[in-house]
Structure 1
């Protein structure tokens, strides 16, 4: 079951957020938070503990780096892409962040022996 990002949870969260009666109260609440809340409530109604529901949310938000995404169907692939986009935005440094640095310079140690990759040592004529 697509747990956190199921269309049912997303639709319910959007309807709640866009409802004129609740709009003023939920203006500062993100759609993602409302989806999580909906998942927690559904889990509670199914008899799941809070820890079980939170564990499913956590599992649903993680990306397995070993997973072959070429084997996923379009819906599952879109879900993984949404998760990666959210993680990127969450971790991205913005100009307004207090620890933002515009131009980072890194010096790499030169005393180590550099290995050739093989492909970069051939001339263009050999190819």
Structure 2
């Protein structure tokens, strides 16, 4: 193979490998996004569950004092660990009511990190996956 052929092959292989890598911002430390000084507990109705790597997301409509609903997003752990704990689209269907205990985002937007999720059947499940989240080691969240 000539030099030009090797260069083209290298570019093609490098391009294909870059397509399989997750975005650099996708995996982050708890402290990069969430504020350990802002614990939250919110009850809401499930609007969407995304079981994706490296972090799954649950979206809830949370009723406001004026009666309107605000959609919140909560970061969960990886799909594999959630499945081991019984978290699936069947256990968190759209329309079910859940309570999230966790921490608010540093930027003040309507999303947070879910340490614990109380399902509509009353089960309490550790849904976070960050090893550096407050209480993660004590609560057996480390993955």
Q: TM-score by structure 2 length?
A: 0.21
> Which structure ranks higher in relative contact order (CA pairs < 8 Å, sequence separation ≥ 6)?
2
Bigger proportion of residues as helix: 1
The TM-score with structure 1 as length reference comes to: 0.23
Question: More strand by proportion, 1 or 2?
Answer: 2
